Structure 1
Amino acid sequence: MGSEKPLSSPFIFITFLSLMVFYQTHSATDHNQHCPSSSCGNINHISYPFRLETDPTYCGDLRYNLSCENNISTVLYLNSGKYYVQAINYNNYTIRVVDSNLHKGSCPSLSYLQPLTEYNFTSDFLVESVYLGSYGTQSNFGYYSSDSYRTKVLRKSGKHWYIYSLSEPIIFFNCENPVKSPLYIPTAPCNNNSSRGINSYVKIGSTYDSELIDSCRIEMMVMITTLRGSQKRNNVSYSEILNELAYGFELSWLPSYGRSDEAYICYVDSSNKVHCPSCRDSWGLINTSSCD
């Protein structure tokens, strides 16, 4: 009888590593199943993927840390800014937050607002690329963003993809001359600088080069919940915009369903179930046509 060959060191190492990953994954899952929900202020039942910083390290997803301030306010730190959590919706996978420097009913000082735009959420580009790729547009690109939040939700019904926008930017302008455009909403009497030869306006949504006015400069860009319907967008007043600012803006936490170190694009189907297929092609590059 021939002697058996000993297992090679690389084989033993790979087997050991695979077992460790399997154990750690299942151990983390088991722990989360036994983690009680947390509460802070008026935000109750904080549960996976969210966690308070005081929760055990095995509870929740570390990408979704929240702070509890004096047991009154639940805080999300986002892009070096501080935001108060207004609501967490586990049915539509969203969290709504508001700038901590904003007070309802007041005229906000732009110097205190924290700048934030859709471009701070680079994983939104992956969402848009999947959507465009489904219609035959070139969809290969070589990077992947592991952002924890998105301003857009990718949905799929049958074979059709569509993008649901949760939040959109508003842009504050100071202009040397008065502007006569329905896109530019006067901010008076809140920011009335006309006596100093400055005319202040706000514009809703992303701005294209053709919509910019030479005599105007951008002062601040922040986010609000997306306004629905053309009639509402075309007839909104500055006081209504202030109410939208005080209401806050929504972000999707769908990326929590995918691995943070891989090219997963998470979408919601017509049954409101989440799917996170890998988007890497056989070359290891991100190819959105592989996301089906």
Structure 2
Amino acid sequence: MLAINYNNFTIRIADPGLDRDNYSSCPIYSSVDNDLSSSYMYLASSQSITLLNCISPINNSLYIENPYCGNKSAFSNSSKIRSYFVIGSILGSDLEESCTFDTVVLTSSSIPLQENATYSTIHVALAFGFELYWYRAMCGKCDASKGTCIVEDNQIRCRHYCYEDTPISERTLRCKLDYYAPFIVLIGLPVIGLLIAIRLLCGLPFVLGLIVYKWRRRHLSVDDKTIEEYLKHQDNLMPIKYSYSEIKKMTKSFKDKLGGGRCGTVFKGNLRSGPFVAIKMMANSVASGKEFINEVAKIGRIRHANVVKLIGFCIEGSKRALVYEFMPNGSLDKYVYSQEGTVSLSYEKMFKISLGMARGIDYLHQDSEHIDIKLHNILLDENFNPKISDLGLVKLYPLDDIGGVSYKADLYNFGMMLMEMARRRGNMNPFAEKFEPSLLPFLGIRSAQ
């Protein structure tokens, strides 16, 4: 024995007649006499080498001459015996008439052996020896349980397979269950169906009563309910309702302030799932709680690539908040009114932003939604795609010093923004609530389709 491996449960042995440093040494025993103990198994990766004895020279590419290992006992009438190696097994049709089979020796050497291999290469490979599995010595319990013992991931494992020719009495419990499973299903399905039918009959009155109860609650007057009861009757498009404590946790106690205005203060936050959000803590409004909820429900149904998505809201006592998707590039005004040293957008980018704004306005006008459009209400995502924000806040926070919000007012404001973007200047106070008289007259600009 030359080596033992405890990782893959193998030993490496070699014929005692072979000496790596003595090229005239020859194998004594055959490696495949099948007289191994049941505790050992050959490796499928081992390569066989056949030794032949011939009484005359052989001119065959399969035969590799071995000048030292001729067995004179193979031919009683010849004093000169020639020995040859053949890589792998040899077919009867390939055996020359003047040759006889001597022995077969295995090797597990990593040296590639081909038909043109030299005698020295073959001798080194044979002297390296061949490997045998010895894990069978540890498979007693597995064999006793009628399992199949194998090596898997460098571990000895016992697998139980169900063979059809094994008598039922000799099968394992799992194999017996597999055998009787069709009969169990055939008998069990009617029984299960009967139990389900009984359950439905017993539960039907309860379900009908629950439906009637829900229907009556749905048709009760909203004026006689609290805000929480009203929210329960909104459809699935209603944004998520958060508690004030959840809002506080998202913003880490309102640590990161993004900006603010007359409608409230905006903070950066995190949802529990990871994405960033912008949370606007609303200032005091003249609108009632139900008016606030109605506006939230309306905004929450809006889905457009150029409108900021409302994710959720909070209404808890006097505290109200709106949770929007986060726009990492901020508002458009900081690029239009960019000062020296700040990032400025190209005119091509400005043109694409203008088209996006127009599409958003056109979409909102289709549902008769009007907004107080300003540059600081246009937010930019990570790809500088524009999105209109602060929808519905004009209704919750009306201004007395401007005309009513309308289709024409939206187009007028949009036209003025285009002029400011084109000139990269304009109203030096981007947060002004109304335009100065010196600004350009009304521009009839149709939004892009």
TM (norm. structure 1) is: 0.46
Q: Which gives a bigger RCO, structure 1 or 2 (Cα 8 Å, sep 6+)? A: 1
**Superposition TM-score, scaled by structure 2 size:** 0.31
| Greater C-alpha Rg | 2
